């Protein structure tokens, strides 16, 4: 139960910190992944985080996230990947980052739209990342 204006201020600060953390993750996720920096990814997300990526599904915890970053890099390495951040939309519980992943494929440059949503896992409190690709 909230009993004073100080309690309200603390709640507001917690929501702001949560949104800032989720925004940082959402906006830096794709470029960190493309750079294939496993340690930077673990530092960004936290070692107990969960990544749901349709190309490499089911990544939870440090070991699986490390394997995922390596697998993604193996898939994209020869395609000269570049990222372009387009926009961020944030609510109290979730942040969405819209980006383009530019890759070279068969001598052409392709733009792959990527949406990354980040929220806190309801059960564990860990960061949960969902990635959506369109083509």
CATH number at residue 111: 3.10.450.50
Q: Which pLDDT belongs to residue 97?
A: 97
Spatial contact of 49 and 126, defined as CB atoms under 8 Å apart: yes
Q: Which pLDDT belongs to residue 70?
A: 92
Q: Which pLDDT belongs to residue 24?
A: 95
Q: What is the pLDDT of residues 74-112, one digit of tens each?
A: 888 889 999 999 999 998 889 999 999 999 989 999 999
Q: How many domains does the chain have?
A: 1
Please tell me the pTM assigned to this model.
0.83
Spatial contact of 114 and 24, defined as CB atoms under 8 Å apart: no
The stretches in the chain having pLDDT less than 50 are 1-13
Report the DSSP beta bridge partners of residue 132: 115
Q: CA 107 to CA 82: how far, in whole Å?
A: 15
In terms of residue numbers, what domain contains 48?
Answer: 5-133
> Comparing C-alpha atoms, which of 84, 49, 53, 45 is closest to residue 71?
53
Q: Which pLDDT belongs to residue 135?
A: 66
């Amino acid at each position: 139960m909230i009993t004073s204006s100080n309690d309200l201020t603390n709640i507001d600060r917690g929501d702001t910190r949560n949104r800032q953390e989720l925004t940082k993750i959402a906006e830096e996720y794709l470029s960190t992944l493309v750079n294939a920096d496993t340690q930077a990814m673990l530092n960004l997300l936290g070692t107990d985080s969960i990544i749901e990526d349709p190309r490499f599904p089911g990544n939870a915890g440090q070991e699986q996230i490390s394997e995922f970053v390596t697998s993604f890099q193996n898939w994209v390495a020869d395609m000269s990947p570049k990222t372009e951040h387009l926009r961020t939309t944030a609510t109290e519980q979730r942040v969405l980052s819209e980006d383009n992943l530019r890759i070279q494929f068969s001598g052409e440059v392709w733009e792959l739209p990527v949406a990354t949503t980040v929220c806190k896992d309801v059960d564990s409190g860990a960061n949960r990342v969902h990635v959506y690709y369109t083509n």
